[in-house]
Amino acid sequence: MDRRFFIKAIPMAGVASTIGSEKGLLHAMATEKSAPDDRRYNLDLMLRICRPVIQQLSEGKLKATMPTEVAPNYAKPVDKVTYLEAFGRTLAGIAPWLELGPDNTMEGSRRIDMLEMTRKAVAMAVDPASPDYMNFTGKFDAQPLVDGAFLAHGLLRAPREVWGKLPAQTQQQVIAALTSLRSIKAFTNNWVLFSAIIEAMLLKFGADWDRKPIDLAVQKIMEWYKGDSMYGDGAHFHYDYYNSFVIQPMLVDVLKVMAEKDEASKANYELALKRMQRYADILERQISPEGTFPVVGRSMPYRNAAFQALAQIALEDKLPPAISPAQVRGALTAVNKRIFEAAGTFDKKGWLQIGFCGHQPEIADVYTSTGSLYLCSTGFLALGLPASHPFWSAPAQPWTSKKVYSGAAVQKDHAIDY
């Protein structure tokens, strides 16, 4: 990949221990690094992650070049599922940045390049004549439903620049591929949202769609609400990050499409959005002053995808009033530095390796392969905000735990009652 624009991370200075007031801490954080450096760092990192998948697929070489590392005791036919995993998940994360479209900046020129490759990559994935044609059936395993859903979610996040500029034939091949996934029955857990987001995408873009999977998913997820923003993954609560990996981002976007198309009232959308705002608040508070967070539950090789819900709330410009965009930027940047700068995160050819902070195959679940790892791209959704947005342009600010552990004033936390 082209490394000309990759910027080495700027080490965080230990200012918190020497600053006794919130004012002093804010000044120190603001002068420690400039806001543009955060955007450049995150963009370079996202492209370092995403470019190998998109470029190789655009050239019809993904199956020939992508590693197929698997977790211990892996239990799936890797060659039938991992490539759609890689592409669907990559698109789900990079799509908002692509949707910004071309402009006359250096970043804009990079976006033009990635947009051209992404459109070609979509075509390669769904063209039966392509060497990288992907498996959109349940013949070998149910996993394609999952990653067809991430592909659909990515297209929803870039309706103008990706979907809208695909050739008509490619659009029809996408629709055919996703429609074929209806043969796979979703499990009674977060999987109900995979069927729902596919149908929402078909509705959004004017294709034939089926209401039943959407109604079922909304009914079940609402039934599984446990309080204070958290949904169960099925009838039971699981202490993991699936509320962020899947549940809240997909639920909110399904309900948003339904409301926009006048297929449902806005009430459920507004309720789900309020809950995700609270969940975003909780996620922000879990990021330590050092940029670490609890490693708990399954699927931790998805790395910073644990913060997809927070990044999506930032992207929608709907952060809770007590959280500034700049402090979320600082927190997420600190997380990315702690995770992705660990030795072993990437192999010698630039592909992600299984792990959380480096190469740690033992932390993986039995369904994890190389393609699975690319859900981490969803931790970069806020790059879909323009560089001029306060999220990226405002002076650096400390996030909640950094304030607390410096002795600065911070608002008390409380649960929500809806």
Q: Give the residue numbers spanning the domain of 329.
A: 16-404
Q: Is 9 exposed, middle or buried (0-12, 13-18, 19+ CB in 10 A)?
A: middle
pLDDT band at 22 (very low <50, low <70, confident <90, very high): very low
Residue 7 lies in a domain: no
| Cα–Cα distance for residue pair 403/378, rounded to 1 Å | 26
pLDDT for residue 34:
56
Residue 397 lies in a domain: yes
pLDDT surpassing 70 at residue 83: yes
Residue 142 lies in a domain: yes
CB 66 within 8 A of CB 83: yes
pLDDT surpassing 60 at residue 244: yes
Residue 414 lies in a domain: no
* Mean predicted confidence (pLDDT) in 42-58: 98
| Cα–Cα distance for residue pair 83/91, rounded to 1 Å | 12
Q: Is 165 exposed, middle or buried (0-12, 13-18, 19+ CB in 10 A)?
A: middle
294 three-state secondary structure: coil
pLDDT for residue 417:
80
CB 352 within 8 A of CB 344: no
pLDDT band at 3 (very low <50, low <70, confident <90, very high): very low
405 three-state secondary structure: coil
pLDDT surpassing 50 at residue 11: no
pLDDT surpassing 90 at residue 36: no
User: What CATH number did the domain enclosing 296 receive?
Assistant: 1.50.10
Q: Is 368 exposed, middle or buried (0-12, 13-18, 19+ CB in 10 A)?
A: buried
* Mean predicted confidence (pLDDT) in 233-241: 96
Per-state percent for the chain, helix, strand, coil, to nearest 5? 60, 0, 40
Residue 10 lies in a domain: no
pLDDT band at 16 (very low <50, low <70, confident <90, very high): very low
pLDDT band at 111 (very low <50, low <70, confident <90, very high): very high
321 three-state secondary structure: coil
pLDDT surpassing 60 at residue 193: yes
Residue 411 lies in a domain: no
Could you tell me which of 183, 182, 208 has the C-alpha nearest to residue 196? Answer: 182
* Mean predicted confidence (pLDDT) in 2-29: 38
DSSP per-residue codes, 112-176: HHHHHHHHHHHHHHH-TTSTT----SSSS-SHHHHHHHHHHHHHHH-TTTTGGGS-HHHHHHHHH
Q: How many domains does the chain have?
A: 1
Specify the DSSP class assigned to residue 407: T
* Mean predicted confidence (pLDDT) in 354-365: 98
* Mean predicted confidence (pLDDT) in 323-333: 98
pLDDT band at 368 (very low <50, low <70, confident <90, very high): very high
Q: How far is CA 338 from CA 19, 298, 330, in A?
A: 23, 20, 12
| Cα–Cα distance for residue pair 278/284, rounded to 1 Å | 10
State the DSSP H helix or E strand holding residue 347, giving kind and residue range, or none if neither. none
Provide the percentage of residues in the chain whose pLDDT is more than 90: 90
| Average pLDDT taken over every residue of the chain | 93
* Mean predicted confidence (pLDDT) in 138-156: 98
Residues 6+ apart with CB under 8 A from 337: 9, 12, 41, 291
* Mean predicted confidence (pLDDT) in 144-156: 98
* Mean predicted confidence (pLDDT) in 88-109: 97
Angle between helices 308-315 and 267-285 (to 10 degrees): 120
> What six digits make up the tokens of 40?
């450049």
231 three-state secondary structure: strand
| Cα–Cα distance for residue pair 188/193, rounded to 1 Å | 10
Least confident of 24-38, 111-125, 279-293: 24-38
Residue 4 lies in a domain: no
pLDDT surpassing 80 at residue 20: no
| Cα–Cα distance for residue pair 369/82, rounded to 1 Å | 6
pLDDT band at 418 (very low <50, low <70, confident <90, very high): confident
| Cα–Cα distance for residue pair 373/352, rounded to 1 Å | 7
pLDDT for residue 7:
35
> What separation, in Å, do the N-terminal and C-terminal C-alpha atoms of the chain show?
47
pLDDT band at 237 (very low <50, low <70, confident <90, very high): very high
Residue 369 lies in a domain: yes
